[in-house]
């Protein structure tokens, strides 16, 4: 439990009047996820729900609040944010609110029994060795059991308001990712994080250029210039606009590195992931590494800095500046 001591789990902490942070443990990755409680006239809005893997002591948490939780808002469909939604809805009796696009993807990924096979097929096309793909299928089925999202939530669209908070579309980390914004406060989900940077991956049956989407939505947050941003992991971001620019620069450097890994010989997303993230990764990390390599490769294609070739069975990339391909 030593790794958990940096956070007090399952005890809401007041960040400013009417905004509480509720941190829940995760078994992997950053080992914690932040949910938020936002006070309104009729009670609290809970933002995100943790992973359905560990039981959350909702009775104690709710008993410590001065009013009931009257609605639950989901920023995006990743397991650590949506996985505990059903349990939270049961404990509070509150309706779950989720973005229309995000819920469609949530249902497709966590609600269909053959998603692990479909995503493994796609990874095979992108050069992932069969044994690694096989391990992805197994871990995918195990993981899906712990994601207890809420079926048939109330659907919202960007531009709607939830108890006075404006719903912002912030695609990138997930296609349907949403933030809440009010009075200079951004409830950021995994859009703007510090010190870690959110993973930006390309996935099947998703938007074609997630990194392009992400950079655009980081710039729109920078223009909004929130006073403060509270994210799903890590620390409070005191100057969100500056952090948004830093993250854009981080991806520009990674784009350069991705481009440098390409040449005349066609390379798969898997091969590029080896160049970017090394050869020693367990399957679950390799999954993110390949998806991240592919989001950068597709961005390079959009920018005219790489070329993609694919016959439906294998997808590869080559550099534009390599060999004699440069035209006068």
Closest distance of CB 230 from Zn ion, Å: 13
Site for Zn ion (CB under 5 A): how many residues?
A: 3
149 DSSP assignment = P
Beta bridge partner(s), residue 23: 34
Closest distance of CB 47 from Zn ion, Å: 12
**Which residues from 164-223 bind Zn ion, rule CB under 5 A?**
190
Q: How far is CA 21 from CA 12, 16, 57, 152, 309, in A?
A: 5, 10, 15, 26, 46
Q: Cα 151 to the chain's mean position, in Å?
A: 20
Nearer to Zn ion, 210 or 232 (CB): 232
Q: How far apart are CA 99 and CA 154, in angstroms?
A: 8
**Which residues from 289-308 bind Zn ion, rule CB under 5 A?**
none
Nearer to Zn ion, 174 or 289 (CB): 174
Q: Is 102 in the site for Zn ion (CB under 5 A)?
A: no
Q: Which stretch binds Zn ion (CB under 5 A): 3-11, 76-84, 153-161, 279-287?
A: 76-84
Which residue stretches of the chain are H helix?
A: 58-63, 79-82, 85-92, 100-110, 115-125, 130-146, 210-224, 240-260, 269-277, 283-302
Closest distance of CB 33 from Zn ion, Å: 6
Closest CA to 49 of 39, 34, 60, 62: 34
57's enclosing H/E stretch is none
Q: Is 232 in the site for Zn ion (CB under 5 A)?
A: yes
Q: Are strands 32-40 and 165-169 parallel, antiparallel or unpaired?
A: unpaired
Nearer to Zn ion, 10 or 193 (CB): 193
Closest distance of CB 31 from Zn ion, Å: 12
Closest distance of CB 189 from Zn ion, Å: 7
Beta bridge partner(s), residue 267: 317
Q: Which stretch binds Zn ion (CB under 5 A): 12-20, 229-237, 271-279, 292-300?
A: 229-237
Q: Is 48 in the site for Zn ion (CB under 5 A)?
A: no
Nearer to Zn ion, 31 or 250 (CB): 31
Residue ranges that bind Zn ion, judged by CB under 5 A: 80, 190, 232
């Amino acid at each position: 439990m030593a790794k958990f001591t940096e956070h007090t789990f399952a005890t809401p902490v007041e960040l400013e009047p009417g905004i509480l942070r509720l941190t829940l443990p995760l078994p992997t990755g950053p080992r914690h996820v932040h949910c938020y409680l936002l006070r309104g006239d009729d009670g609290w809005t809970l933002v995100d729900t943790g992973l359905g893997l560990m039981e959350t002591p909702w009775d104690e948490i709710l008993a410590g609040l001065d009013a009931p939780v009257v609605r639950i808002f989901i920023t995006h469909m990743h397991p650590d944010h949506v996985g505990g939604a059903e349990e939270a809805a049961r404990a509070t009796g509150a309706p779950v609110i989720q973005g229309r696009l995000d819920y469609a993807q949530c249902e497709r990924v966590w609600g269909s029994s053959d998603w692990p096979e479909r995503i493994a097929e796609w990874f095979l096309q992108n050069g992932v060795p069969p044994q690694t793909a096989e391990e992805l299928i197994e871990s995918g089925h195990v993981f899906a059991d712990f994601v207890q999202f809420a079926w048939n939530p109330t659907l919202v669209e960007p531009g709607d308001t939830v108890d006075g908070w404006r719903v912002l579309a912030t695609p990138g980390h997930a296609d349907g990712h949403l933030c809440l914004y009010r009075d200079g406060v951004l409830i950021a989900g995994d859009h703007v994080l510090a010190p870690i940077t959110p993973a930006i991956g390309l996935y099947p049956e998703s938007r074609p250029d997630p990194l392009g989407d992400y950079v655009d939505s980081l710039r729109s947050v920078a223009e909004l210039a929130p006073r403060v941003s509270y994210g799903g992991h890590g620390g409070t971001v005191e100057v969100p606009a500056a952090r948004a620019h830093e993250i854009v620069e981080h991806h520009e450097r990674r784009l350069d590195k991705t481009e440098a890994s390409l040449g005349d010989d066609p390379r798969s997303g898997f091969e590029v992931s080896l160049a970017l993230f090394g050869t020693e990764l367990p399957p679950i990390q390799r999954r993110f590494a390949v998806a991240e390599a592919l989001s950068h490769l597709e961005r390079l294609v959009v920018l005219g800095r790489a070329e993609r070739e694919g016959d439906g069975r294998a997808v590869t990339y080559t550099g534009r500046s390599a060999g004699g391909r440069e035209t006068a």
